[in-house]
Every structure is written in structure tokens, then in C-alpha cells.
Amino acid sequence: MTGGAALRVLGAVELVTVLVLLGNLATVHHPGLASAVGPLHGMVYLAVLVTAASLARGRHRVWLLALVPAVGGLLADRASRRP
């Protein structure tokens, strides 16, 4: 898997985990779900940051966009594909 594809997948997983956490918070607030998905989201967020930093190639915009919560991976992927 290339770096761009990895960033795209990680960005989508990051967005899904945030939506699951927010949906859980807005509805039933099940502590077991939050304690399982919360650390998963944290690991995916860090993976997005590391992948974006490795793909940046001197462009600060790519890894700075990765810092945006929930959609940063997708934004960084789009910015990394620009010439």
C-alpha cells in the first residue's frame, strides 16, 4: 500500500471513529463502547499524523492539515496529491 492510499484509509477510519464516539455520546453513552473506540481513535489519529509527516516532502501544509480533528487525514491526503 502506498503512502497516499494509507493516508486515505487512515483518514476515513479516523472520521468513522469520531462519528461513532459522537453518536455514542449523543445517544446511549455506553462506557464500554467509548473505552474501546476512544483509544482506537487516538492510535489512528497518531498514525495519520505520522503518515502525513512522511508524505509532506517539505510542504508544511500537508502535516498541518493532518492536525485538524476528524477530517485532517482526508484533508492532508487531498493536499499531498497536489503538485
The string of pLDDT tens digits covering residues 28-78 is 999 999 999 999 999 999 999 999 999 998 889 999 999 999 999 999 999
pLDDT at residue number 83: 76
CB 76 within 8 Å of CB 52: yes
Q: What's residue 58's pLDDT?
A: 87
Determine the pLDDT at residue 22. 97
Model pTM greater than 0.95?
A: no
What local confidence, expressed as pLDDT, does residue 82 receive? Answer: 81
Matching residue, cell 446511549? 28
